[in-house]
Amino acid sequence: MDERRLREVALTPDEYKVIVERLRRAPNEVELGMLGVLWSEHCSYKSSKPLLRRLPSSGPGVLQGPGENAGAITIGEGWAAVFKIESHNHPSAIEPYQGAATGVGGIIRDVIAMGARPIALLDSLRFGPLPESSRHFEGVVAGIGGYGNCIGIPTVGGEIYFDECYTNNPLVNAMCVGLVRTDELMRARAEGTGNSLMLVGADTGRDGIHGASFASVELDDNSSQRRPAVQVGNPFLEKCLLEACMDLSHTDAVVAIQDLGAAGLTSAVAECAGRVEGAGAVIDVAQVPRRERGMTPYEVMLSESQERMLVVVQRGREREVESIFNAWDLTSAVIGQVTDDGLLTVVDGSDQVGRLPITLLTDGAPVRRLVGIAPDPPFGLEIDALPPLADAGGTLLRLLASPNLSSRRGVFRRYDHMVGDATIVPPGGDAAMLRVKGTKLGLAMTTDCNARYCHLDPHLGAQLAVAEAARNIVATGARPLAVTDCLNFANPDRPEVYWELEETIAGLAYACRTMELPVVSGNVSLYNESFPTRGEGGPAQSARPDGVGQSAIYPTPVVGMIGLIDDYSKRLGAGLRAEGDFVLMIGSTHNDLGGTEYLKVEHGHVAGRPPALDLTREQAVNRVVLAAAQSGYLHSAHDCAEGGMLVALAECCLLGGIGVRCPAVRPEAPLRLDAAFFGESQSRFIVSVTSRAMPEMQSLARRHNVELSLLGLAGGDTLEFEGQLKLTLAELRQAWDVLVP
């Protein structure tokens, strides 16, 4: 087989040999394309599958773990939350608007396929520095807002970071959360020999062909030629598709629903059949509705045209299901049927054009046994060599104005976060929350990851991502329930990158097991690495044999998390609520300056070890906050994270429109003043309480052996530490409100 042809379908010569051996013949053109997309890294997880088994995926409330379109967990009163996060990185690098928009559309369909109504969207975004990366930044934000707003699902939360390593490799991770009655949860299983396979939604075109393969290779100077691999979305059509699929819950004629995402019809049929032992399918591509003339069977089977679903319908009840889609003015067509021969057979009218074992397609890709080698340790940090803090107020203003810490209001104002009338904690704080209509339940949700920590120590950085997400959930008064993850890495063929992947997954597994948080769904995105022209590489580079700079992202394991509060009237916001409240710090502060935003902004370093983390102490602090919130002691709560205590306190003031007056901070040795103000020690919250609640708060803290300290009193229009800094809220806001796409 010509190696150039193999590269087109992202197969290696060794993988081709395996195919020939297992088929006992050479595959034809259609079969080669089908195997190429399903054996791609994007679909097969052939480099990460052995590592992912380490993640905990079961628990008392888990209804569906990994292996389906999305994960599901029970939340009480007969309801289940369905959620998942996925990446659309490579398409967004080439075509930012459509890459982001179709990423949103795809994750919505994953939730729909479980029988759930999508209720919220979140994102996790990474870009290079502005203004150089404005095209990516502006296009992605517009794409997310455009699709979500049009389809009528609120975008309620997320995160955005900027770093040189993402200049040529933007990360666009989209998360969707949905609700379904537990007895109506669906699985995409092609059960019932003779049942019909119906393709519904948009007509099939040539867009997105080889999209899965494209997402499984590095970006290079020829990547712009892969624009046909970037799909084009239609949110208005997807809205009709969503409502039609919701109407299917009123009939028992539907056996299963499967999203058509990466690898299109090939993946949808093979995965649906692959979940049932011995099941197969026959597909007639001549019956597939098309919007372009002259499409070949190869193109039909590999097309990744958006807004399409595969529906398994009970034999004889096709008209009943068709009528539902007709009511929404959607195309539907029976294109095949379920068989019991374990084969995916593709015909074009009377001609057979492909015939492959389902197991070869879904589980046949040889697992890649890669070797991880720890790289040289990152640049060390000698804390005592740092100059003492000279101007706390000036440093605070510079940190608030830094792209990684500034207000995201300029972004989320582009998103309709109130559509659906369920959002009760809007974006801008620690986590969002939506009410479950007809109940008192509140569902909290967030996405989190500090990739700088992961760059310095992947194992610890992954744990910190889980802990940060949990604290953000707890800050709303909700208890963390479960996790979905999106693991973004560079080229795993390089031993140091595979080592990062190993260490990250080990860290995630340890943190999730310790905190009893099952990982019920997720995604792995590899090869987020580019080969820019000479001189364009950022600092995260390694040499290629040809001397061209190789730009790789930091390991970026994004943690999506949901949490639950039994009575949403007890929810908390991050902003201060009342003058005269006591402003407290829960948790203790140490000399944790490694990997901090302060170190990067003020001293130009990404160095040192990330903040230490004691998960036992983390859980104790969380229990204090949850108990205080449940008892009604707290007026507000805010996680103390990037930028440290002073940035968190400024955010509390800005979000609440109330200042704080504090005595001077006089840290006892060995704690430094800059670490007290801007260090990023973990397991800390800033909360506000009435004076009457102080005895109860002190009792709670003692019971859990957690440190509690008074920072100051809420009131006025300034943030003041006596003799050390005094800034008006207007000055703080002017620095903070700078990020506008």
Please confirm, yes or no, whether 88 is among the known catalytic residues. Answer: yes
Cα–Cα distance for residue pair 693/370, rounded to 1 Å: 56
Cα–Cα distance for residue pair 467/630, rounded to 1 Å: 21
Cα–Cα distance for residue pair 599/596, rounded to 1 Å: 5
Cα–Cα distance for residue pair 342/6, rounded to 1 Å: 26
Cα–Cα distance for residue pair 533/254, rounded to 1 Å: 52
441 DSSP 8-state letter: -
Pairing between β-strand 660-662 and β-strand 718-721 as defined by DSSP bridges: parallel
377 forms bridges with which residues in the sheet? none
- The H or E element that residue 685 is part of is strand 685-689
Asked, as a colleague might, if the bond just before 539 is cis with ω within 30 of 0, I would say no
Cα–Cα distance for residue pair 571/592, rounded to 1 Å: 30
Helix (H, G, I), strand (E, B) or coil at 114: coil
DSSP result, 57-81: ---TTEEE-BTBSSEEEEEETTEEE
At residue 34, what are phi and psi to the nearest 5 degrees?
A: -65, -45
At 98, which amino acid appears? Q
Alpha helices in 328-420 (DSSP H): 358-363, 392-401, 409-412
Which residues, in sequence order, are CB contacts of 223 under 8 Å at separation 6+? 90, 93, 94, 530
Angle at 20 between CA 17 and CA 23, to 5 degrees: 145
Asked, as a colleague might, if the bond just before 663 is cis with ω within 30 of 0, I would say no
Is-contact 660 654, C-beta < 8 A? Answer: no
Upper half-sphere CA count for residue 488 (Cβ side, 13 Å): 32
- The H or E element that residue 479 is part of is strand 479-488
Of the candidates 482, 621, 635, the one whose C-alpha atom is nearest the C-alpha of residue 570 is 635
Of the candidates 284, 242, 280, the one whose C-alpha atom is nearest the C-alpha of residue 259 is 242
Of the candidates 708, 656, 702, 661, the one whose C-alpha atom is nearest the C-alpha of residue 686 is 708
The catalytically annotated residue of 42, 210, 459, 635 is 42
Of the candidates 534, 445, 540, 442, the one whose C-alpha atom is nearest the C-alpha of residue 500 is 540
Please confirm, yes or no, whether 638 is among the known catalytic residues. Answer: no
Q: Dihedral angle at the C-alpha atoms of 276, 280, 285, 286, nearest 10 degrees?
A: -120
Is-contact 590 675, C-beta < 8 A? Answer: yes
Q: How far is CA 526 from the centre of its chain?
A: 14
At 41, which amino acid appears? E
The catalytically annotated residue of 88, 455, 635, 638 is 88
- The H or E element that residue 468 is part of is helix 458-474
Is-contact 469 559, C-beta < 8 A? Answer: yes
Is-contact 707 646, C-beta < 8 A? Answer: no
Q: Please, is 112 exposed, middle or buried when counting C-beta atoms within 10 Å of its C-beta (0-12, 13-18, 19+)?
A: buried
Residue with tokens 């905190």: 515
Distances from the Cα of 365 to the Cα of 261, 265, 360, angstroms:
19, 18, 7
Cα–Cα distance for residue pair 37/21, rounded to 1 Å: 19
487 forms bridges with which residues in the sheet? 524, 557
Is-contact 180 114, C-beta < 8 A? Answer: yes
Angle at 650 between CA 686 and CA 594, to 5 degrees: 75
Q: Which residues are catalytic?
A: 42, 88
